[in-house]
Amino acid sequence: MTILELMERVGTKNETLTIAYIKDAIHLMQSNTKEKIKVSKQDVLNASDGDDNVYRLPADLIAIENISILDTSDSRYKRIKRISSQPHYLLEDTSPWVVT
């Protein structure tokens, strides 16, 4: 379909606006599709260097879609929910230890 045919169907005479709408629609479709998704599994219980809280992330990582952990009781992966709000922290130290 040409731009002229599209303009006739829509009922507009502004060619520049029609081209801008087409480019915007193509950009929107491209931004909503995921180009490349990789799945990575890491065993955090048996880390090779003994440091269990350091994870090797790929250099080309853009976003993490989700994180799951293996539930050993039923051998299924369970998704970890994201925190939707800022966690509440204690404003004062309530520990019984007093440093003098």
Q: Encoding tokens for residue 25? A: 């629609």
Note the Cα 89 to chain centre separation in Å: 26
C-alpha span between 97 and 52 (Å, rounded): 28
- Tens place of pLDDT per residue across the chain (100 aa): 888 998 899 898 999 999 999 999 888 887 776 667 777 777 666 555 666 566 777 787 777 777 888 888 888 888 887 766 666 665 565 666 655 5
Residue whose C-alpha is closest to residue 63's, from 88, 84, 38, 43: 38
Segment (H or E) for 78: strand 76-79
Q: What is the pTM of this model?
A: 0.38
C-alpha span between 11 and 22 (Å, rounded): 15
Q: Tell me the per-residue pLDDT of 53-73, one tens digit each, with 9 for 90 and over.
A: 667 777 877 777 778 888 888
What count of other Cβ atoms lies within 10 Å of the Cβ of residue 45? 7
User: Whats the size of the chain, residue-wise?
Assistant: 100
The one-character DSSP state at 87 is: P
